[in-house]
Copies of this chain bind each other. A is one copy, B any other.
Amino acid sequence: MERLVVIGGDAAGGATAAQARRRRGADDLEIVVVERGPYTSYSACGVPYWVGGLVAGPDALIARSPEEHRRRGLDVRLDTEAEGIDLDKREVEVRDTATGAAHRIGFDHLVLATGATPVRPPIPGIDAPGVYGVQTLDDGRALIDGFAPARTRAVVIGGGYIGIEMAEAMKQRGLAVTVLDRGAQPMSTLDPDMGVLVHTQMEALGIDVVTGADIQGIETAPDGRVRAVVTSDAEYPADVVVLGTGVRPATELARAAGLPLGDSGGIRTDLRMRVWGDDARHAGVWAAGDCVEVLNLVSGRFQHIPLGTHANKQGRVAGMNIGGDYATFPGVVGTAVSKVCDLEIGRTGLREKDAEAAGFAYETAVIESTGRAGYYPGADTMTVKMIAERVSGRLLGVQIVGRDGAAKRIDTAAVALTARMTAEDVTALDLGYAPPFSPVWDPILVAARKVAGKVAGPAL
């Protein structure tokens, strides 16, 4: 009987194992999932809502428990760290993190689903008590346990979507919150002219936002616990510090085994999620989730985009292929949505700086419209920015900041990008219209009209 070993029991690993099992029974394929932590298949994306008290964690955040996986015929081994991959002998070396005991597991198929590791900038004091990551359920638990009545001031380092979600969560907990971001505006996945809308809203919520922050260190009190975050300009008192400084692909095992990494740092795979390369030892070696790089279908570049939805799709594709089906993961267009209180943010495709880096000449248009007919109650303003290639008019990217119904409108643009539509194509799209849901011209169409008018002008 063949054996599939999956390293990592979160979204990508769990999806791979489940899909392989659906296609190959327990009498045909043994499936071993080794997971370094105590949980499987949990939603890291849900941690801010747990911290904010909106969701009762951590159980609610576990999509599938180890017991559920086991009932589906998976041999799930928790607290088990993979320490090495021997491609010649086709074995993985694992160690029980409690006992320290090590042994080897042979494989016919191997899936690397090792995820991502929080970036911990080399700031003095970053390891002090009171400084928290937000990547795992244990991180969430530690942060919640760290709240105490006397701890009233929080500083978030990094104003990306996780930093902003954490800032809101701690505001909801009653803390005074300051976000320190090194960029010109928070939410650098948007162009600065859209990021400023997020900035304004955060300030309106009572969250202090410091841009251009050059962090020098984290100061500690005599008891060793965090006391303040120091930038080159000022000192920000802090009882709690949260790191929203992003993640990088966890590829130590892959690197040590000589598996190929892309420029983005993620593991390179083919369309079926098999690890890239014509080395015969790569046969049966797959990778999926936050540890791989993905093709951006707009720029044609590979990127590292850690996101649960990609991890699930890639895991499904890997598992279908291991199970004998044919499936591919063609790539992404860079869609992301997030929420700051009632502000909704969506983005897809390229920002201006991405378009420039890829070599596109482009036009931009920014419009304001409403998510409902103007006369319908609750018609709030939303701002849409659209970027299109000059001459061809090809859609390159869209960003939306607004309220009710703003964020998921980005999906329309994501599909249009996937289909390589032009802005003029977008103006003709048959989008749903009714007064409670859209003006007669959906904001996406209004933006497309405006940018289509610009690209129709004289060529470069």
| Interface residues, chain A, with chain B CB atoms under 8 Å away | 11, 43, 45-46, 49, 54-55, 60-61, 63, 161, 307-310, 312-313, 316, 327-330, 332-339, 344, 346, 348, 373, 375-377, 405, 407-412, 414-416, 418-419, 421, 424-425, 427-438, 440-442, 449
Contacts and interface: CB of A to CB of B under 8 A. Distances in A.
B428 A55 contact: no
A309 B429 CA distance: 10
30 contacts: A43-B373, A43-B435, A45-B373, A45-B435, A45-B440, A54-B376, A54-B377, A161-B434, A308-B440, A309-B433, A309-B438, A312-B440, A313-B427, A333-B430, A334-B430, A335-B432, A335-B433, A336-B434, A338-B434, A344-B437, A346-B432, A407-B434, A408-B437, A409-B411, A411-B429, A411-B431, A412-B412, A415-B421, A415-B429, A418-B425
Given A308-B433, A313-B427, 6 more contacts: A45-B435, A309-B442, A332-B430, A336-B432, A337-B433, A407-B437
B54 A431 contact: no
A377 to B, nearest CB: 6
Contacts of A436: 339
Contacts of A428: 313, 328-330
Given A55-B376, A309-B440, A409-B408, A46 B419 contact: no
Given A54-B377, A375-B61, A312 B431 contact: no
A40 to B, nearest CB: 14
B339 A437 contact: yes
Contacts of A60: 375
Contacts of A329: 428
A222 to B, nearest CB: 40
A415 B419 contact: yes
A438 B411 CA distance: 11
B54 A309 contact: no
A154 B410 CA distance: 41
Given A408-B409, A412-B412, A11 B429 contact: no
Contacts of A55: 375-377
Contacts of A61: 375
Contacts of A424: 327
